[in-house]
Structure 1
Amino acid sequence: MSSHNASPAAAPQATPYERIGGAPAVRQLVKRFYELMDEMPEVWETRRIHPKDLSGSEEKLFKFLSGWLGGPQLYVAEYGHPMLRRRHLPFAISTRERDQWLMCMHQALEEQDMDPELHAAIRAAIDGLADHMRNQAE
């Protein structure tokens, strides 16, 4: 019998995707985000650059966020590398549009049931991502 005390391998940490609740929670977040975009008149400038029917946008954002949060890389599998800034260049995105988009995303995140630390981390990352999409001089 060996007296060797090997430490157990560290358990892999759950991804934000797993911690938020997986596909059902990401779908709920994205669904609520686009509902808010339709319901809030103060985000009109941002809403109008989206298609009238938001179902395609909703599906793409779900697929993107799934991978971005550490879950299945659905977006990459279907569309390739996101190249988000490049894909958004045809749309005028200034601080106003960024802030309107974030208004909806922040509210949708607030309505999700999640750990406050996870919420803060996701919100900070989303804020940086949204800021990166700006392509108009102020």
Structure 2
Amino acid sequence: MTEIPRGTLQEQTFYELIGGEPTFRKLVHRFYQGVAEDPLLRPMYPEEDLGPAEERLTLFLIQYWGGPRTYSDNRGHPRLRMRHAPFPVNRAAHDAWLRHMRAAVDELDLQPELEKQLWDYLTYAAASMINTAE
């Protein structure tokens, strides 16, 4: 908690605690570097340039963790399962996604408790996207 004028307390968001937008941009950029080379995941991104997908994930994570609501302002409700429904996401895709995200998280060098909070969410989110049996 950080004390602010008038004797009130203001809690920092997770977004602020891990460094704000630059941290999320670094995370997602590193993640998509892995996706670009992944034979299982790359076909799930029909755009030739991964830049738009990178921007969408960045803005989503920023908003989710307490930053600006730019994602919803531009795209509406996240509806993650619905947006991923056209793509077969099985356990192998889940594992590949987490492998690239793990590499990206590791490069952030976060405090252990912050890293755990982020990783717990990412593993939950990845599991919730599975929509196809092996």
TM (norm. structure 1) is: 0.87
CA drift at 1:105: 0.6
User: What's the RMSD between the two structures over aligned residues?
Assistant: 1.2
Secondary structure class of the residue paired with 2:17 = helix
| Identity among equivalent pairs (%) | 39
In the TM superposition, 1:1-138 aligns within 5 A as 9=8, 11-39=9-37, 43-50=38-45, 51-138=47-134
What TM-score do the two structures reach when normalised by structure 2?
0.89
SS of the equivalent of 2:127 reads helix
C-alpha contact (below 8 Å) 2:36/2:50 kept by paired residues: no
CA distance in 2 between counterparts of 1:36 and 1:56 reads 16
Any gaps of 5 or more consecutive residues in structure 1? 1-7
Shift of 1:56: 0.5
Aligned residues: 127
Q: Deviations over 1:80-106 (max 9, x none)?
A: 000000010000000110110111111
Residues 30-79 of structure 1 show CA distances to partners (whole Å, capped at 9, x for unaligned) of 1111112224xxx3211221133100001101110101111111111100
Structure 2 gap ranges (5+): 1-6
Distance in 2 separating the partners of 1:73 and 1:104: 26
